[in-house]
Amino acid sequence: ETGVTQSPTHLIKTRGQQVTLRCSSQSGHNTVSWYQQALGQGPQFIFQYYREEENGRGNFPPRFSGLQFPNYSSELNVNALELDDSALYLCASSQQGADTGELFFGEGSRLTVL
């Protein structure tokens, strides 16, 4: 069984740039959720993708966008980066039918915005 994998693990960008983060879901999982974890905080829900469509969204501006592909992998895109976007971005996969909140996380992509 393959777990959730994310890339890149670390990256540095400057303010105003754009970034794309990638996630491969755990085998058998068709739903992907993205979370932002600022230093010293718990994960904050960004959005969820199911059947290649956004299934729900947290309190994040439109410059945070995503995609899900037919193989259930997903991308998180952030435009016009701001200093406060510096955080660990976590991808989590789950089985939509389960509806239990049980999430399987990747190791995250640590983004630093200078």
Closer CB to another protein, 43 or 66, in the complex: 43
Answer yes or no whether residue 11 interacts with another protein by CB under 8 A: no
Q: Output helix, strand, coil percentages for the chain, rounded to the nearest 5.
A: 5, 50, 45
Which span sits near another protein by CB under 8 A: 11-19, 34-42, 62-70, 77-85? 34-42
Which residues does residue 105 pair with via DSSP β-bridges, in sequence order?
92
Answer yes or no whether residue 61 interacts with another protein by CB under 8 A: no
Closer CB to another protein, 33 or 85, in the complex: 33
Cβ neighbors of 34 (< 8 A, separation 6 or more) are 23, 45, 46, 47, 48, 66, 74, 76, 89, 90, 91, 92
Residues that bind another protein (CB under 8 A): 4, 33, 35, 40-45, 48, 55-56, 58-59, 90, 92, 99-108
